[in-house]
Amino acid sequence: MRYLMKQKLVCWGDDFAIKNEAGEDVFFVDGKAFSLGDKLSFRDMQRNELAFIRQKLLSWGPTYEITRKGELAAVVKKHLFTLFRCKFTVDVPGPDDLEAAGSFLDMEYTFTRAGERVAEVSKRWFTWADTYGVDIAEGEDDVLLLASTVVIDMVCHADNKR
């Protein structure tokens, strides 16, 4: 499934609108303004919370938790010491961890699990600032991958937004 993700430029907090490939609004991310650390609510268009993203403040390097119904779904962490390329780990309960690698400044990167591509993020087709496509393989957890993409955007482009 392909999604178009766009950060809203005029808002309190980090807010994102997410459309499907038909151009229909399917999700939105509501950033909580004036909170200690980043906190965002990932919702469907009926305003049901599907995931909650929270920055862990006392951690070594940028680290975020994604929860669903109060249960930990994943921990997204930026690798601090990598040569030549930036990497993120999406640590999920069990053996199915994901890794994101590529050019995060250009928003051109891939999510993989055990070396297999599960999603690709690309800005190359869009000229608007803070707009990019997310192509997710069938059978994958779209909400988890989109929420992880939001985290990576916030970590890699924090200077542009604050």
Q: What is the residue-level pLDDT of the chain in tens, covering all 162 positions?
A: 999 988 765 444 467 899 998 989 999 998 875 556 688 999 999 999 999 999 988 777 789 999 999 999 999 999 876 555 678 999 999 888 999 998 766 678 999 999 999 999 988 766 556 678 999 999 999 999 999 999 988 888 665 544
Residue 98's identity, in one-letter code, is L
Would you state the torsion angle of the CA atoms of residues 70, 118, 157, 33, taken in this order, to the nearest 10 degrees? -20
Domain boundaries, the chain: 2-161
Whether this model's pTM surpasses 0.85: yes
- Are the C-beta atoms of residues 158 and 133 closer than 8 Å to each other? no
The pair of three-digit structure tokens given for residue 139, joined into one six-digit string: 């059978």
Gap between the Cα atoms of 159 and 34, Å rounded: 17
SS3 128: coil
Contacts of residue 62, defined as CB under 8 A and 6 or more positions apart, other chains included, come to: 55, 77, 78, 155
What is the tally of helices (H) and strands (E) in the chain? 2, 12
Homologous superfamily assigned to 2-161: LURP1-related (2.40.160.200)
Q: Which of 73, 72, 76, 77 is nearest to 143 (CA)?
A: 73
